[in-house]
Amino acid sequence: MNDWVKDRIRTIPDYPKKGIMFRDITTLLGDALGFRKAVDEMVQPYAGTGISKVAGIDARGFILGGAVAHQLSVGFVPLRKQGKLPWQTYGEDYQLEYGVDRLEIHQDAVSQGDRVLLVDDLIATGGTAVAAVQLLRKVGAKVVGCSFVIDLPDLGGAKKLAALDCPVRALCAYEGD
């Protein structure tokens, strides 16, 4: 994996609660060369593969996904928390450790058969990403891959996506977190 990425990610212990090691990508985003290199490496495996849209998960997935979509010269689709999109939406509920949340997409955001790349900053337990894949499929998209800056493999999210036949790529991984 890429040590240069880890060198640009700040780790904040005990955030948002004791025992959690929060991986903060704002330091990567604030480093012009690091941000550019991260986007380039997220784009490279998908260049020329017929991606028609990039979908980004609220909120850091918007930053990365918008940049990836720009580099691929395709449209960007925001996947937002419930009640944040101004037009007619479809939604997908997903389980959190403390309850249920919901992702939504505009009903006209993708067309039947669009080849979509899903982008976010981090894959952990996979709840949000799995909901995103299910939502995109519900509206007729073909999710051709999932791209993240960070994978926390011990939490199993990437395996859940792989079980849905969604190949996962991450720029770095933190074992044991």
Active-site residue list: 60, 97
171 class by beta-carbon count within 10 Å (0-12 exposed, 13-18 middle, 19+ buried): buried
Residue (of 48, 41, 175) closest to 119 by Cα position: 41
Q: How far is it, in rounded angstroms, from Cα 25 to Cα 35?
A: 10
Q: Which two tokens stand for residue 76?
A: 């960007």
CB count in 10 Å sphere of residue 103? 25
